[in-house]
Amino acid sequence: MSSNGGAPYGSDDTTSFELQPPQPIVPYPGNPYAQPAQVAPQLPPPSLQDPGTGRLIAGRYRLLAKLGHGGMGTVWRAKDETVDREVAVKEPRVPDHLSERERANAYERMRREARAAARLDHPSVVNVHDVAVVDGRPWIVMELVRGRSLGAALQEGTLGVREAARIGLEVLGALEAAHTAGILHRDVKPDNVLLGRHDRVVLTDFGIAQIEGETNLTDTGGFVGSPEYIAPERVLGQRPGPASDLWSLGVVLYAATEGVSPFRRSNTPATLQSVLNSTPAPPASASGPLAEVINGLLEKDPARRPTAARVRDLLEQAANPPAPAPTQVVHHTAALAAPAVGKGVRLGPKTLLGLGAAVVAAAVTAYLVVADPFAGPLPDGWKQRDLGTKVGVSIGMPAEFTKDKIDPEETDGTIAQYSDPSGLIRIAVDRDIKKDDEEGEIPETALDKAFEDWTGLKDGEYTIDIADEPAPKGGPKETKYQGRDAAENTVVYTTTDSRAPRLREARFLYYRATGGDMYRLWIDCPGKGHFTEEGREIARTVVETLEIDNL
Protein backbone atom coordinates (compact mmCIF):
# COMPACT_ATOMS: atom_id res chain seq x y z
CA MET A 1 0.00 0.00 0.00
CA SER A 2 1.20 3.40 -0.74
CA SER A 3 1.74 6.26 1.61
CA ASN A 4 1.42 8.55 -1.37
CA GLY A 5 -2.07 7.53 -2.31
CA GLY A 6 -1.03 5.09 -4.99
CA ALA A 7 -0.56 7.83 -7.58
CA PRO A 8 2.23 7.35 -10.15
CA TYR A 9 4.38 10.21 -11.37
CA GLY A 10 4.71 9.49 -15.08
CA SER A 11 2.21 10.79 -17.61
CA ASP A 12 1.97 7.35 -19.21
CA ASP A 13 0.89 5.51 -16.07
CA THR A 14 -2.59 4.09 -15.75
CA THR A 15 -5.08 4.17 -12.97
CA SER A 16 -6.66 1.02 -11.60
CA PHE A 17 -9.82 1.65 -13.62
CA GLU A 18 -8.89 2.34 -17.20
CA LEU A 19 -5.93 3.09 -19.45
CA GLN A 20 -5.91 6.81 -18.76
CA PRO A 21 -3.16 8.92 -17.19
CA PRO A 22 -3.93 9.72 -13.55
CA GLN A 23 -3.36 13.00 -11.82
CA PRO A 24 0.19 13.28 -10.47
CA ILE A 25 0.85 13.21 -6.77
CA VAL A 26 0.21 16.62 -5.31
CA PRO A 27 2.57 17.57 -2.48
CA TYR A 28 1.10 19.28 0.53
CA PRO A 29 2.67 21.18 3.42
CA GLY A 30 4.16 18.71 5.85
CA ASN A 31 4.45 15.92 3.27
CA PRO A 32 7.56 13.97 4.35
CA TYR A 33 7.60 12.09 1.04
CA ALA A 34 7.90 15.26 -1.02
CA GLN A 35 10.92 16.45 0.94
CA PRO A 36 12.17 14.99 4.21
CA ALA A 37 11.63 17.49 6.96
CA GLN A 38 10.64 17.87 10.56
CA VAL A 39 6.92 17.34 10.97
CA ALA A 40 5.17 20.36 12.38
CA PRO A 41 4.14 19.70 15.99
CA GLN A 42 0.80 21.40 15.54
CA LEU A 43 -1.74 22.19 12.87
CA PRO A 44 -1.15 25.12 10.52
CA PRO A 45 -3.35 28.20 10.72
CA PRO A 46 -6.96 27.52 9.64
CA SER A 47 -6.46 29.54 6.45
CA LEU A 48 -3.74 27.10 5.32
CA GLN A 49 -5.42 23.87 6.34
CA ASP A 50 -6.75 21.37 3.81
CA PRO A 51 -10.49 20.66 3.93
CA GLY A 52 -10.93 17.81 6.37
CA THR A 53 -7.96 18.73 8.53
CA GLY A 54 -8.78 18.10 12.17
CA ARG A 55 -11.47 15.52 11.40
CA LEU A 56 -11.58 12.55 13.78
CA ILE A 57 -11.86 9.17 12.03
CA ALA A 58 -13.32 6.17 13.88
CA GLY A 59 -13.11 8.10 17.12
CA ARG A 60 -9.29 7.98 17.33
CA TYR A 61 -7.42 9.11 14.18
CA ARG A 62 -7.11 12.91 13.97
CA LEU A 63 -6.26 14.10 10.43
CA LEU A 64 -3.35 16.57 10.53
CA ALA A 65 -2.27 17.25 6.95
CA LYS A 66 -2.50 15.75 3.49
CA LEU A 67 0.57 13.94 2.25
CA GLY A 68 -0.63 13.41 -1.31
CA HIS A 69 -3.37 11.94 -3.42
CA GLY A 70 -3.80 9.68 -6.40
CA GLY A 71 -6.36 7.75 -8.36
CA MET A 72 -7.55 5.60 -5.47
CA GLY A 73 -7.07 7.62 -2.34
CA THR A 74 -5.78 10.55 -0.37
CA VAL A 75 -3.12 9.88 2.23
CA TRP A 76 -3.14 11.90 5.44
CA ARG A 77 -0.67 12.33 8.22
CA ALA A 78 -2.75 11.67 11.30
CA LYS A 79 -2.49 11.32 15.06
CA ASP A 80 -3.70 8.13 16.70
CA GLU A 81 -5.03 9.74 19.86
CA THR A 82 -5.54 6.39 21.57
CA VAL A 83 -1.87 5.43 21.62
CA ASP A 84 -0.40 8.90 20.94
CA ARG A 85 1.53 8.22 17.74
CA GLU A 86 1.52 9.58 14.23
CA VAL A 87 0.28 7.33 11.45
CA ALA A 88 -0.55 7.48 7.76
CA VAL A 89 -4.24 7.14 6.95
CA LYS A 90 -5.40 6.36 3.43
CA GLU A 91 -8.81 7.82 2.64
CA PRO A 92 -10.67 6.00 -0.15
CA ARG A 93 -11.26 8.27 -3.09
CA VAL A 94 -12.75 7.07 -6.35
CA PRO A 95 -13.80 9.00 -9.46
CA ASP A 96 -17.37 10.26 -9.44
CA HIS A 97 -18.14 8.72 -12.83
CA LEU A 98 -17.74 5.13 -11.63
CA SER A 99 -20.75 2.88 -11.45
CA GLU A 100 -21.85 1.39 -8.17
CA ARG A 101 -20.24 -1.92 -9.13
CA GLU A 102 -16.92 -0.22 -9.95
CA ARG A 103 -17.14 1.79 -6.75
CA ALA A 104 -17.74 -1.37 -4.73
CA ASN A 105 -14.77 -2.98 -6.48
CA ALA A 106 -12.59 -0.02 -5.57
CA TYR A 107 -13.51 -0.29 -1.90
CA GLU A 108 -12.97 -4.02 -1.94
CA ARG A 109 -9.60 -3.48 -3.55
CA MET A 110 -8.61 -1.22 -0.65
CA ARG A 111 -9.71 -3.86 1.84
CA ARG A 112 -7.58 -6.39 -0.01
CA GLU A 113 -4.69 -3.95 0.07
CA ALA A 114 -4.91 -3.93 3.83
CA ARG A 115 -5.29 -7.70 4.03
CA ALA A 116 -2.38 -8.31 1.65
CA ALA A 117 0.03 -6.10 3.57
CA ALA A 118 -1.22 -7.29 6.96
CA ARG A 119 -0.45 -10.89 5.98
CA LEU A 120 3.20 -10.03 5.42
CA ASP A 121 5.75 -9.84 8.20
CA HIS A 122 8.74 -8.22 6.60
CA PRO A 123 10.68 -5.03 7.40
CA SER A 124 10.36 -3.89 3.78
CA VAL A 125 6.56 -3.99 3.80
CA VAL A 126 4.53 -1.19 5.37
CA ASN A 127 2.83 -2.22 8.60
CA VAL A 128 -0.97 -1.99 8.59
CA HIS A 129 -2.42 -1.04 11.98
CA ASP A 130 -6.13 -0.86 11.31
CA VAL A 131 -8.96 -0.59 8.79
CA ALA A 132 -11.58 1.91 9.93
CA VAL A 133 -14.89 1.72 8.08
CA VAL A 134 -16.63 5.10 7.83
CA ASP A 135 -19.95 5.31 5.98
CA GLY A 136 -19.15 2.03 4.27
CA ARG A 137 -15.74 3.25 3.09
CA PRO A 138 -12.54 1.57 4.35
CA TRP A 139 -9.87 3.94 5.69
CA ILE A 140 -6.52 2.14 5.94
CA VAL A 141 -4.34 3.06 8.90
CA MET A 142 -0.66 2.24 8.48
CA GLU A 143 2.74 3.21 9.78
CA LEU A 144 4.05 6.60 8.75
CA VAL A 145 7.28 6.02 6.83
CA ARG A 146 9.29 9.22 6.89
CA GLY A 147 11.30 9.61 3.75
CA ARG A 148 10.52 9.84 0.07
CA SER A 149 9.88 7.56 -2.84
CA LEU A 150 12.56 6.15 -5.09
CA GLY A 151 10.71 7.88 -7.92
CA ALA A 152 11.26 11.24 -6.22
CA ALA A 153 14.94 10.44 -5.64
CA LEU A 154 15.40 9.58 -9.31
CA GLN A 155 14.13 13.02 -10.26
CA GLU A 156 17.46 14.27 -8.91
CA GLY A 157 19.79 11.67 -10.34
CA THR A 158 20.51 8.02 -10.91
CA LEU A 159 21.83 5.58 -8.34
CA GLY A 160 25.26 4.01 -8.17
CA VAL A 161 25.57 0.27 -8.65
CA ARG A 162 25.95 -0.56 -4.95
CA GLU A 163 23.03 1.62 -3.83
CA ALA A 164 20.76 0.31 -6.59
CA ALA A 165 21.66 -3.26 -5.63
CA ARG A 166 21.03 -2.54 -1.95
CA ILE A 167 17.57 -1.16 -2.67
CA GLY A 168 16.90 -4.03 -5.06
CA LEU A 169 17.72 -6.55 -2.34
CA GLU A 170 15.20 -4.97 0.03
CA VAL A 171 12.45 -4.89 -2.59
CA LEU A 172 13.27 -8.48 -3.53
CA GLY A 173 12.89 -9.50 0.12
CA ALA A 174 9.44 -7.90 0.25
CA LEU A 175 8.43 -9.66 -2.95
CA GLU A 176 9.71 -13.02 -1.72
CA ALA A 177 7.65 -12.61 1.45
CA ALA A 178 4.59 -11.71 -0.63
CA HIS A 179 5.03 -14.60 -3.04
CA THR A 180 5.49 -17.05 -0.19
CA ALA A 181 2.17 -15.81 1.19
CA GLY A 182 0.49 -16.31 -2.19
CA ILE A 183 0.39 -12.60 -3.05
CA LEU A 184 1.46 -10.95 -6.28
CA HIS A 185 2.14 -7.24 -5.99
CA ARG A 186 1.54 -6.40 -9.68
CA ASP A 187 2.60 -2.75 -9.46
CA VAL A 188 6.29 -2.64 -8.55
CA LYS A 189 7.63 0.74 -9.66
CA PRO A 190 9.87 3.49 -8.22
CA ASP A 191 6.93 5.47 -6.84
CA ASN A 192 5.92 2.46 -4.75
CA VAL A 193 9.36 2.09 -3.16
CA LEU A 194 9.89 4.36 -0.16
CA LEU A 195 13.36 5.30 1.06
CA GLY A 196 12.95 5.76 4.78
CA ARG A 197 15.23 6.71 7.61
CA HIS A 198 18.25 4.62 8.59
CA ASP A 199 18.51 3.16 5.06
CA ARG A 200 15.14 1.45 5.34
CA VAL A 201 13.50 0.51 2.02
CA VAL A 202 9.76 -0.16 1.99
CA LEU A 203 7.62 -1.62 -0.78
CA THR A 204 4.17 -0.02 -0.71
CA ASP A 205 0.82 -0.04 -2.50
CA PHE A 206 -0.59 -3.53 -2.47
CA GLY A 207 -3.85 -1.99 -3.71
CA ILE A 208 -3.92 -4.06 -6.91
CA ALA A 209 -2.22 -7.13 -5.47
CA GLN A 210 -3.64 -10.47 -6.47
CA ILE A 211 -4.17 -12.76 -3.49
CA GLU A 212 -4.20 -16.45 -4.30
CA GLY A 213 -7.70 -17.90 -4.06
CA GLU A 214 -9.54 -14.57 -4.22
CA THR A 215 -11.67 -13.33 -7.09
CA ASN A 216 -10.02 -11.09 -9.66
CA LEU A 217 -11.48 -7.60 -9.44
CA THR A 218 -10.20 -6.42 -12.81
CA ASP A 219 -12.98 -5.57 -15.22
CA THR A 220 -13.20 -7.57 -18.45
CA GLY A 221 -10.86 -6.29 -21.11
CA GLY A 222 -8.76 -4.22 -18.75
CA PHE A 223 -5.78 -4.54 -16.48
CA VAL A 224 -4.28 -2.53 -13.70
CA GLY A 225 -0.78 -1.28 -13.10
CA SER A 226 1.74 1.09 -14.64
CA PRO A 227 2.35 0.25 -18.32
CA GLU A 228 6.11 0.75 -18.48
CA TYR A 229 6.63 -1.64 -15.54
CA ILE A 230 4.11 -4.34 -16.52
CA ALA A 231 5.48 -7.71 -17.64
CA PRO A 232 4.77 -8.82 -21.25
CA GLU A 233 2.69 -11.81 -20.15
CA ARG A 234 0.31 -9.51 -18.29
CA VAL A 235 -0.04 -7.27 -21.36
CA LEU A 236 -0.99 -10.39 -23.33
CA GLY A 237 -3.61 -11.32 -20.76
CA GLN A 238 -1.78 -14.42 -19.60
CA ARG A 239 -1.83 -15.60 -16.00
CA PRO A 240 0.95 -13.79 -14.10
CA GLY A 241 3.21 -15.35 -11.53
CA PRO A 242 6.12 -14.31 -9.30
CA ALA A 243 8.26 -13.86 -12.42
CA SER A 244 5.97 -10.98 -13.42
CA ASP A 245 6.85 -9.04 -10.26
CA LEU A 246 10.53 -9.83 -10.87
CA TRP A 247 10.26 -8.38 -14.37
CA SER A 248 8.98 -5.15 -12.80
CA LEU A 249 11.91 -5.19 -10.36
CA GLY A 250 14.25 -5.46 -13.35
CA VAL A 251 12.68 -2.37 -14.94
CA VAL A 252 12.98 -0.52 -11.62
CA LEU A 253 16.69 -1.35 -11.41
CA TYR A 254 17.18 -0.26 -15.02
CA ALA A 255 15.45 3.05 -14.30
CA ALA A 256 17.44 3.48 -11.07
CA THR A 257 20.79 3.29 -12.86
CA GLU A 258 19.89 4.73 -16.27
CA GLY A 259 17.36 7.38 -15.23
CA VAL A 260 14.34 6.20 -17.22
CA SER A 261 12.35 3.06 -17.91
CA PRO A 262 13.56 1.43 -21.14
CA PHE A 263 9.95 0.98 -22.28
CA ARG A 264 8.56 4.48 -21.67
CA ARG A 265 6.99 5.99 -24.76
CA SER A 266 4.82 9.05 -25.45
CA ASN A 267 1.51 7.26 -24.86
CA THR A 268 0.12 4.13 -23.26
CA PRO A 269 -0.42 2.01 -26.42
CA ALA A 270 3.12 2.74 -27.62
CA THR A 271 4.48 1.88 -24.17
CA LEU A 272 2.67 -1.46 -24.16
CA GLN A 273 3.97 -2.22 -27.64
CA SER A 274 7.51 -1.51 -26.50
CA VAL A 275 7.06 -3.86 -23.52
CA LEU A 276 6.02 -6.60 -25.94
CA ASN A 277 8.42 -6.01 -28.80
CA SER A 278 11.34 -3.74 -27.87
CA THR A 279 14.69 -5.06 -26.73
CA PRO A 280 16.17 -2.42 -24.41
CA ALA A 281 19.75 -1.32 -24.84
CA PRO A 282 22.04 -2.90 -22.24
CA PRO A 283 22.35 -0.65 -19.19
CA ALA A 284 25.29 1.69 -19.67
CA SER A 285 25.81 2.56 -16.00
CA ALA A 286 25.32 -0.89 -14.49
CA SER A 287 27.95 -3.56 -14.94
CA GLY A 288 28.88 -6.97 -13.63
CA PRO A 289 26.32 -8.80 -11.47
CA LEU A 290 23.83 -5.93 -11.50
CA ALA A 291 23.81 -5.80 -15.29
CA GLU A 292 23.29 -9.57 -15.32
CA VAL A 293 20.29 -9.17 -13.03
CA ILE A 294 18.72 -6.44 -15.17
CA ASN A 295 19.29 -8.19 -18.48
CA GLY A 296 18.03 -11.49 -17.09
CA LEU A 297 14.86 -10.09 -15.53
CA LEU A 298 13.93 -8.30 -18.77
CA GLU A 299 13.65 -11.54 -20.72
CA LYS A 300 10.27 -11.54 -22.49
CA ASP A 301 9.71 -15.21 -21.66
CA PRO A 302 9.08 -15.53 -17.90
CA ALA A 303 10.55 -19.03 -17.95
CA ARG A 304 13.91 -17.60 -19.00
CA ARG A 305 14.13 -15.10 -16.15
CA PRO A 306 16.41 -15.90 -13.22
CA THR A 307 14.89 -17.21 -10.00
CA ALA A 308 14.56 -15.02 -6.94
CA ALA A 309 17.42 -16.95 -5.34
CA ARG A 310 19.69 -16.24 -8.30
CA VAL A 311 18.68 -12.57 -8.32
CA ARG A 312 19.49 -12.33 -4.61
CA ASP A 313 22.91 -13.87 -5.11
CA LEU A 314 23.79 -11.44 -7.92
CA LEU A 315 22.45 -8.40 -6.07
CA GLU A 316 24.48 -9.32 -2.99
CA GLN A 317 27.59 -9.50 -5.15
CA ALA A 318 26.82 -6.06 -6.61
CA ALA A 319 26.00 -4.50 -3.24
CA ASN A 320 29.05 -5.97 -1.52
CA PRO A 321 31.89 -6.24 -4.04
CA PRO A 322 35.20 -7.72 -2.94
CA ALA A 323 37.36 -5.32 -0.96
CA PRO A 324 40.08 -3.68 -3.08
CA ALA A 325 43.75 -4.27 -2.42
CA PRO A 326 45.24 -2.04 0.32
CA THR A 327 46.38 1.34 -0.92
CA GLN A 328 49.61 3.06 -0.02
CA VAL A 329 49.73 5.93 2.45
CA VAL A 330 50.13 9.19 0.55
CA HIS A 331 50.70 12.56 2.20
CA HIS A 332 49.61 15.72 0.44
CA THR A 333 49.44 19.43 1.10
CA ALA A 334 47.14 20.44 -1.75
CA ALA A 335 44.61 23.21 -1.40
CA LEU A 336 41.22 23.69 -2.94
CA ALA A 337 39.59 22.82 -6.21
CA ALA A 338 37.60 25.21 -8.33
CA PRO A 339 35.15 25.52 -11.19
CA ALA A 340 34.52 27.06 -14.51
CA VAL A 341 34.18 26.25 -18.11
CA GLY A 342 35.40 28.29 -20.91
CA LYS A 343 37.05 29.18 -24.10
CA GLY A 344 40.10 27.25 -25.10
CA VAL A 345 39.19 24.44 -22.73
CA ARG A 346 41.41 21.61 -23.83
CA LEU A 347 38.52 19.33 -23.04
CA GLY A 348 37.45 19.77 -26.63
CA PRO A 349 33.90 19.95 -27.95
CA LYS A 350 33.43 16.20 -28.15
CA THR A 351 34.62 15.66 -24.61
CA LEU A 352 32.51 18.51 -23.29
CA LEU A 353 29.47 17.07 -25.00
CA GLY A 354 30.10 13.71 -23.40
CA LEU A 355 30.56 15.18 -19.98
CA GLY A 356 27.54 17.42 -20.39
CA ALA A 357 25.38 14.44 -21.33
CA ALA A 358 26.45 12.62 -18.19
CA VAL A 359 25.67 15.71 -16.19
CA VAL A 360 22.13 15.80 -17.59
CA ALA A 361 21.68 12.11 -16.92
CA ALA A 362 22.78 12.61 -13.36
CA ALA A 363 20.38 15.55 -13.04
CA VAL A 364 21.84 16.79 -9.79
CA THR A 365 23.86 19.80 -8.68
CA ALA A 366 27.62 19.60 -8.21
CA TYR A 367 29.21 21.23 -5.21
CA LEU A 368 32.66 21.21 -3.63
CA VAL A 369 33.93 22.58 -0.37
CA VAL A 370 37.33 23.97 0.61
CA ALA A 371 39.14 21.52 2.83
CA ASP A 372 42.24 21.40 4.93
CA PRO A 373 45.38 19.90 3.33
CA PHE A 374 45.21 16.17 3.03
CA ALA A 375 47.63 14.42 5.33
CA GLY A 376 46.68 10.81 5.69
CA PRO A 377 45.97 7.55 3.90
CA LEU A 378 43.47 7.40 1.10
CA PRO A 379 39.97 6.31 2.17
CA ASP A 380 39.16 2.62 1.95
CA GLY A 381 38.38 1.64 -1.61
CA TRP A 382 40.36 4.53 -3.13
CA LYS A 383 43.50 4.45 -5.24
CA GLN A 384 46.00 7.08 -6.39
CA ARG A 385 46.00 7.12 -10.19
CA ASP A 386 48.88 8.33 -12.32
CA LEU A 387 47.23 10.02 -15.31
CA GLY A 388 50.28 9.62 -17.54
CA THR A 389 53.23 11.74 -18.60
CA LYS A 390 51.21 13.85 -21.05
CA VAL A 391 48.79 14.98 -18.36
CA GLY A 392 51.53 15.03 -15.75
CA VAL A 393 49.45 14.65 -12.60
CA SER A 394 48.14 12.00 -10.24
CA ILE A 395 44.95 12.14 -8.21
CA GLY A 396 43.10 9.92 -5.78
CA MET A 397 39.66 8.60 -6.63
CA PRO A 398 37.39 5.67 -5.73
CA ALA A 399 38.67 2.46 -7.26
CA GLU A 400 35.45 1.83 -9.20
CA PHE A 401 35.90 5.00 -11.27
CA THR A 402 36.73 4.15 -14.86
CA LYS A 403 38.59 6.10 -17.50
CA ASP A 404 36.46 7.60 -20.26
CA LYS A 405 37.49 7.24 -23.88
CA ILE A 406 38.64 10.51 -25.44
CA ASP A 407 39.66 11.00 -29.06
CA PRO A 408 43.47 11.37 -28.94
CA GLU A 409 43.35 13.65 -32.00
CA GLU A 410 41.12 15.98 -30.03
CA THR A 411 43.36 16.17 -27.00
CA ASP A 412 46.90 15.11 -27.98
CA GLY A 413 46.77 12.89 -24.92
CA THR A 414 46.83 15.85 -22.53
CA ILE A 415 43.38 15.18 -21.04
CA ALA A 416 42.29 12.43 -18.66
CA GLN A 417 38.68 11.98 -17.66
CA TYR A 418 37.14 9.49 -15.22
CA SER A 419 33.61 8.76 -14.08
CA ASP A 420 31.91 6.64 -11.46
CA PRO A 421 29.65 3.80 -12.66
CA SER A 422 26.45 5.79 -12.07
CA GLY A 423 27.60 8.79 -14.11
CA LEU A 424 26.90 11.07 -11.17
CA ILE A 425 30.48 12.23 -10.72
CA ARG A 426 33.07 13.09 -13.34
CA ILE A 427 36.69 14.09 -12.81
CA ALA A 428 38.71 15.69 -15.59
CA VAL A 429 42.26 17.03 -15.70
CA ASP A 430 43.85 18.75 -18.68
CA ARG A 431 47.23 20.32 -19.35
CA ASP A 432 48.24 22.98 -21.88
CA ILE A 433 51.95 22.52 -22.62
CA LYS A 434 53.98 25.70 -23.05
CA LYS A 435 56.48 24.33 -25.55
CA ASP A 436 53.59 23.35 -27.86
CA ASP A 437 51.97 26.79 -27.60
CA GLU A 438 53.20 28.19 -30.91
CA GLU A 439 50.49 30.88 -31.03
CA GLY A 440 51.08 32.08 -27.49
CA GLU A 441 47.52 31.26 -26.40
CA ILE A 442 48.31 30.16 -22.84
CA PRO A 443 47.54 33.07 -20.48
CA GLU A 444 50.29 34.41 -18.25
CA THR A 445 48.55 33.51 -14.98
CA ALA A 446 46.08 30.97 -13.68
CA LEU A 447 43.65 33.78 -12.86
CA ASP A 448 43.84 35.05 -16.46
CA LYS A 449 42.96 31.56 -17.67
CA ALA A 450 40.05 31.34 -15.27
CA PHE A 451 38.67 34.66 -16.55
CA GLU A 452 39.15 33.59 -20.15
CA ASP A 453 37.15 30.43 -19.55
CA TRP A 454 34.47 32.29 -17.61
CA THR A 455 34.01 34.85 -20.41
CA GLY A 456 33.70 32.12 -23.01
CA LEU A 457 31.19 30.25 -20.89
CA LYS A 458 28.95 33.29 -20.45
CA ASP A 459 29.12 34.02 -24.18
CA GLY A 460 27.93 30.53 -25.05
CA GLU A 461 31.11 29.51 -26.87
CA TYR A 462 31.14 25.99 -25.50
CA THR A 463 29.23 22.83 -26.28
CA ILE A 464 28.68 21.87 -22.66
CA ASP A 465 24.98 21.66 -21.83
CA ILE A 466 24.39 25.03 -20.14
CA ALA A 467 21.22 27.03 -20.63
CA ASP A 468 21.40 30.72 -21.54
CA GLU A 469 18.52 31.53 -19.20
CA PRO A 470 18.92 31.81 -16.34
CA ALA A 471 22.46 32.96 -16.97
CA PRO A 472 25.20 30.96 -15.25
CA LYS A 473 26.57 32.46 -12.07
CA GLY A 474 30.16 32.49 -10.93
CA GLY A 475 33.33 34.52 -10.87
CA PRO A 476 37.01 33.60 -10.82
CA LYS A 477 39.13 34.38 -7.81
CA GLU A 478 42.64 33.77 -6.58
CA THR A 479 43.52 30.81 -4.39
CA LYS A 480 46.57 28.73 -3.49
CA TYR A 481 47.73 25.31 -4.58
CA GLN A 482 50.45 23.90 -2.34
CA GLY A 483 51.30 27.45 -1.31
CA ARG A 484 51.58 28.72 -4.90
CA ASP A 485 49.36 31.14 -6.78
CA ALA A 486 46.36 29.48 -8.40
CA ALA A 487 42.80 30.36 -9.36
CA GLU A 488 39.37 28.91 -8.92
CA ASN A 489 35.82 29.48 -10.04
CA THR A 490 32.46 28.10 -9.04
CA VAL A 491 29.87 28.08 -11.81
CA VAL A 492 26.21 27.53 -11.01
CA TYR A 493 24.14 26.83 -14.09
CA THR A 494 20.99 25.20 -15.39
CA THR A 495 21.09 22.40 -17.92
CA THR A 496 19.35 22.71 -21.28
CA ASP A 497 17.51 19.41 -20.88
CA SER A 498 14.01 20.30 -22.05
CA ARG A 499 12.37 17.47 -20.11
CA ALA A 500 14.00 18.12 -16.75
CA PRO A 501 16.34 21.13 -16.59
CA ARG A 502 18.47 20.91 -13.47
CA LEU A 503 20.53 23.28 -11.43
CA ARG A 504 24.18 22.23 -11.27
CA GLU A 505 27.40 23.54 -9.84
CA ALA A 506 30.86 22.86 -11.24
CA ARG A 507 34.23 23.82 -9.81
CA PHE A 508 37.67 24.22 -11.35
CA LEU A 509 41.19 24.67 -10.04
CA TYR A 510 43.70 26.41 -12.33
CA TYR A 511 47.48 26.31 -11.84
CA ARG A 512 50.28 27.64 -14.07
CA ALA A 513 53.57 25.92 -13.42
CA THR A 514 56.93 27.69 -13.42
CA GLY A 515 57.71 26.40 -16.91
CA GLY A 516 54.48 27.88 -18.27
CA ASP A 517 52.31 24.77 -18.49
CA MET A 518 48.67 25.37 -17.50
CA TYR A 519 46.79 22.74 -15.47
CA ARG A 520 43.08 22.56 -14.80
CA LEU A 521 41.17 20.16 -12.55
CA TRP A 522 37.42 19.93 -13.10
CA ILE A 523 35.16 18.00 -10.74
CA ASP A 524 31.42 17.76 -11.28
CA CYS A 525 29.43 15.93 -8.64
CA PRO A 526 26.03 15.85 -6.91
CA GLY A 527 25.34 18.69 -4.57
CA LYS A 528 21.59 18.63 -4.06
CA GLY A 529 19.35 15.85 -2.93
CA HIS A 530 19.93 12.26 -2.02
CA PHE A 531 23.63 12.08 -2.98
CA THR A 532 24.85 15.40 -1.64
CA GLU A 533 27.08 14.31 1.24
CA GLU A 534 28.67 11.43 -0.64
CA GLY A 535 29.44 13.68 -3.60
CA ARG A 536 30.95 16.41 -1.46
CA GLU A 537 33.20 13.99 0.39
CA ILE A 538 34.45 12.43 -2.85
CA ALA A 539 35.10 15.85 -4.37
CA ARG A 540 36.92 17.13 -1.30
CA THR A 541 39.29 14.18 -1.22
CA VAL A 542 39.98 14.27 -4.97
CA VAL A 543 41.07 17.89 -4.66
CA GLU A 544 43.27 17.18 -1.66
CA THR A 545 45.09 14.34 -3.43
CA LEU A 546 46.03 16.30 -6.57
CA GLU A 547 49.77 15.95 -7.29
CA ILE A 548 51.32 17.85 -10.23
CA ASP A 549 54.57 16.34 -11.49
CA ASN A 550 56.34 19.54 -12.56
CA LEU A 551 55.60 22.38 -10.19
Feature table: binding site for ATP: 90
| Residue of 135, 85, 137 whose CA lies nearest to 109 | 137
Binding residues: 90
390-424 as b/e: b if 16+ CB within 10 A: ebbbbbbbbbbbeebebeeeebeebbbbbbbbbbb
Give the sign of the dihedral formed by CA 165, CA 167, CA 168, CA 172.
Answer: positive
* 398 neighbors 420 (Cβ within 8 angstroms): yes
> CA nearest 397: which of 414, 417, 411, 368?
417
- Indicate which residues carry an active-site annotation: 187
What torsion, rounded to 10 degrees, do the Cα atoms 544, 549, 550, 551 define? Answer: 20
CB 157 within 8 A of CB 362: yes
**Burial class of residue 322 in the structure, from the number of CB atoms within 10 Å of its CB (0-12 exposed, 13-18 middle, 19+ buried):** exposed
Longest dimension (CA), the chain: 85
Q: Helix, strand, coil shares of the chain as percentages rounded to 5?
A: 30, 20, 50
Q: Does the CA dihedral 380-382-383-384 come out positive or negative?
A: negative
Backbone angles phi, psi at 105, to 5 degrees: -65, -40
